[in-house]
Chains A and B, each alone.
Chain A
């Protein structure tokens, strides 16, 4: 008995010390680590012990190299380099990009003019915090810095390569596949993931999942880039139908799309609608300054994240972003320009649609993605903000969760939810789920929003009624206060939520802190949920290839979600 107690005691003490080691981000080299990991750790250790401890990306363009130097040496970054006790934290530059208009708020634009304005993204491994900065290389100033805890920027190519190497060199992966894979076989290696019961859970560490497709299955190698090791493997089934990639040649359009739709805004004026639109770095197609008649309706709307989960219990999948082909690390990018199409109900033209597609290069093959964003504007003043996954993804049991950010124009807004006792006004920031037991108003509204311009809109979530194949949104709605002084997503946001949370923690909850709404300016965040399906006759969020008359064709089954906003008298 005493032996047991003694062992328990020793075990507890060892656990305490090892937790401190891990949380303290100590750089620990062990004999089991392969040589390339030890070399990488040695580089980090040297950097942490140097006078300038931020690891730089060292881009070849001198202006970009200058931009990251300015940030690394800035006073603003200092609190993210040393903790309160003066210990050095591990901070690395993850990306240096030419700043796009979508990265700049109106007050910043004059301080950071085109040509000398760069966006530098950094990640603090020690406190799991992403830091986004805008730098003016002319004035050598950091003009803006935002940090978001428990958030990670998209990773740079050297970390992607490292993740692939960790996976490819792993005996576990070799044993699971039955052969040693080569690095070109790894897919989605740069996209963030998580894994329950590991330090990757809920993205507490920076983790990615190089994935190897083998027949109708995919082997996920979950790599923890904070500790530089493989933390788990999982298998998913990717479906049986044949699917070959068919879009590689469209890469030729990347430059055209960047020049015409990422670097400048476009306008649409149709019927009574007026709006601007623009492709962002990682928030999809953004619309802004939306007016109907002479009335301002929206400041902006965009698609912040796509979360894709392949296990309800193990919690692994991808946290994706969609955006421009250049100046972005978005995993799924625009390779066609945005389209303005007629919106028809039967044979009647009832408005227009602004639509944008985003593709992974190899779609519709397994472990490739295709997303569509649609803004529908009706002649009668209704509008709908929607998106769809067109498959095919890395498994036939995936759950997709797009996250929209919708900012209405005007001050003095009020938000109401329909309940058993009628309309109930929200007084503070919070969230609500749409589920089977949700009660709707007689007009099918779950919410309504009032603007001070005397405009009111009913909010009708998808329940399969929009004739686009959608089967229901099952959405979380979050309402937050729009702050003038704090940027909570006015400019481009990196992926804010982990891939695989089952609950309300999809990212927007980071901005929900019960703050009173005070009839002020509000932001609506809408995170819908769709489960993909490859069962014959029931396909959803899915794509499959087939041969017709000797020609390879693709059959796709998009799963549209998104709320309709209907003007109220």
Chain B
């Protein structure tokens, strides 16, 4: 192996000394200041982005829930571990506390822990391809730098499936995106433009009935998250099902749309309820308003980003 030039070695030594100093000064504060809840969120944060948590090491939760795409994946329907299409479009996992239910088509499913079992252990198709009996994956992860110290702090000897699920739930439940221009309007920090205002009026008249509430996902009539009946897919013989009303937050970065990703454009969705056919001006105005619901400020917060983002 070629020796490093001397200046590189000196710089490396300086960097290490700096790290020693930084850890000695700040390390204890950071380590001792974390509550068990924070530690669990941190564990969930690492697990969410860790591809080792899949049968062949190629997918993590973040593969289908990417922060750059509003925690979705840009596919019409998500792709499983082996290239198979899943049943539904990847829903955002932001603002989960704003949903009464956690899946697209199961109105009785309220528990995120129960829901997590589908991508983790489901087989139709395999998403992460995990099996409960395969604890070897967890054993090997437990002994890595990313987890060993954290588990010790949590008082856990090693990862088990219950710990994994609980940590992921703690992480996911604390992902928020409610700092859009429209949110700031309430605090009188900003004003809507003329087009945005006109779009807001169109929304109030035509969209709010189903896309109401603080996350624009609640039916004002039934007070629930479930909408009218949709065909499961676009084929003529597809089954009918009730689907969850999606949030209108972050639409421009979460295409394609609907539970099966059938629409590529936001404007394609406008007429799905058949309540009103919008003209071109109205479409632009409504798009203008919907753009005020974008909030990607979370991308500046390391809690939302990949903590393992080093090249392997």
A residues with CB within 8 A of B:
1, 4-5, 7-9, 11-13, 15-17, 20-22, 24, 26-28, 85, 87, 176, 197-199, 201, 217-218, 232-237, 311-314, 397, 420, 435-437, 439, 471-472, 502, 531, 535-538
Which residues of chain A have C-beta atoms less than 8 A from B264's C-beta? 471, 531
Instruction: Show 25 A/B contacts (Cβ-Cβ < 8 Å), sorted by A.
Output: A1-B31, A4-B31, A5-B27, A7-B148, A7-B149, A8-B23, A9-B23, A17-B12, A21-B4, A24-B8, A85-B5, A85-B7, A198-B311, A201-B311, A217-B82, A235-B82, A236-B83, A237-B84, A237-B85, A312-B69, A313-B64, A313-B69, A313-B73, A397-B75, A435-B252
Residues of A within 8 A of B64 (CB): 313
Closest B residue to A314 by CB, please name it. B63
Residues B83 and A218 in contact, CB atoms below 8 Å apart: yes
Chain B hits for A312, CB < 8 A: 66, 69, 73-75
Give per-residue flags for B229-248: 1 if the beta carbon is below 8 A from chain A beta carbons, else 0.
Answer: 00000110000000000000
Partner of B152, one of A4, A8, A234, A537: A4
Smallest CB–CB gap between B166 and chain A, Å?
Answer: 22
Minimum CB–CB distance for B205 against chain A, Å: 20
B115-123, B217-225, B284-292 - the one binding chain A:
B284-292
Neighbour of B58 across the interface among A17, A233, A471, A535, CB < 8 A = A233
With a cutoff of 8 Å between Cβ atoms, the chain A residues found around residue B10 in the complex are none
Number of interface residues of B (CB under 8 A): 58
> Which residues of chain A are within 8 angstroms of B288 by Cβ–Cβ distance?
437
B308 to chain A, nearest CB (A): 8
Bound form: Cα–Cα A22–B4 in Å = 11
Given the interface contacts A5-B27, A16-B15, does A436 sit within 8 Å of B68 by beta carbon? no
Given A1-B31, A4-B149, 20 more contacts at CB 8 Å?
A7-B148, A9-B19, A13-B12, A16-B12, A27-B1, A197-B312, A198-B311, A217-B83, A232-B58, A233-B58, A311-B79, A313-B66, A313-B69, A313-B74, A397-B79, A435-B252, A436-B287, A437-B252, A472-B265, A538-B234
Alpha-carbon distance A230/B32, docked complex (angstroms) = 41
Given the interface contacts A237-B83, A536-B235, does A12 sit within 8 Å of B16 by beta carbon? yes
B186 contacts A by Cβ under 8 Å: no
Query: Would you give the shortest CB distance from A382 to chain B, in whole angstroms?
Result: 23
Residues of A within 8 A of B82 (CB): 217, 235
Which residues of A are found within 8 Å of B291, using beta-carbon distances? 437
In the complex, what distance in Å separates the CA atom of A45 from the CA atom of B24? Answer: 42
A436-B266 CB under 8 A given contacts A16-B15, A312-B75, A535-B234: yes
Q: Is the CB of A197 within 8 A of B83?
A: no
- B24 contacts which chain A residues (CB < 8 A)? 5
CB pair B287–A437 under 8 Å, yes or no, is yes
A-facing residues in B281-300 (Cβ within 8 Å)? 284, 287-288, 291
Closest approach, in angstroms, between the C-beta of A175 and any C-beta of chain B? 8
Task: Indicate which residue in A1, A12, A201, A313 contacts B28 across the interface (CB closer than 8 Å).
Answer: A1
Q: How far is the CA of A453 from the CA of B173 in the complex (A)?
A: 62
Please give, as numbers and ranges, the residues of chain B lying within 8 Å of A197 by CB-CB distance: 51, 306, 309, 311-312
Ranked 3 nearest A-B pairs via Cβ: A312-B74, A235-B83, A313-B66
Residues on B with C-beta less than 8 A from A21 are: 4
| A26-B8 Cα distance, complex, nearest whole Å | 13
Q: Which residues between 189 and 219 of chain B lie within 8 Å of chain A, taking CB atoms?
A: 195
* CB of B156 to closest CB in A, whole Å: 15
Bound state CA distance, A536 and B235, in angstroms? 8
Q: B195 contacts which of A13, A420, A502 (Cβ < 8 Å)?
A: A420
B81 is an interface residue with CB less than 8 A from chain A? yes
Residues A313 and B62 in contact, CB atoms below 8 Å apart:
yes
- Chain B residues with CB under 8 Å of A420's CB are 195
Find chain B residues with CB under 8 A from A13 CB: 12, 16, 19
Q: Which residues of A contact B79 (CB under 8 A)?
A: 235-237, 311, 397
Contacting A at CB under 8 A, from B72-100, are 73-76, 79, 81-85
Per-residue CB contact flags for chain B residues 12-28 toward chain A (1 = under 8 Å, else 0) read: 10011001100110011
State in angstroms the CA–CA spacing of A537 and B51 once bound together: 36
Contact A28 B1 (CB under 8 A): yes
Contacts of B81 in A (CB 8 A): 235
Question: In the docked arrangement, what's the CA distance between A236 and B28, Å?
Answer: 46
User: Which of A85, A198, A471 contacts B312, CB < 8 Å?
Assistant: A198
**Residues of A close to B56: CB separation below 8 A:** 176, 233
Across-interface contacts of A15 in B (CB, < 8 A): 310
Rounded to whole angstroms, the CA-CA distance of A471 and B310 in the bound complex is: 39
CB distance A7 to B69 under 8 Å?
A: no
Would A27 and B2 count as touching, CB distance under 8 A? yes
Q: Which B residue's beta carbon lies closest to that of A310? A: B79
Interface 1/0 per residue, B253-289 and A, CB below 8 Å: 0000000000011110000000000000000100110
Expressed in whole angstroms, the Cα–Cα distance for A538 and B252 within the complex equals: 22
Q: Which residue of A lies closest to B260 (CB)?
A: A535
CB contacts (< 8 Å) of B2 on chain A: these are 26-27
Interface string of B120-163 (1 = CB under 8 A from A): 00000000000000000000000001001100110000000000
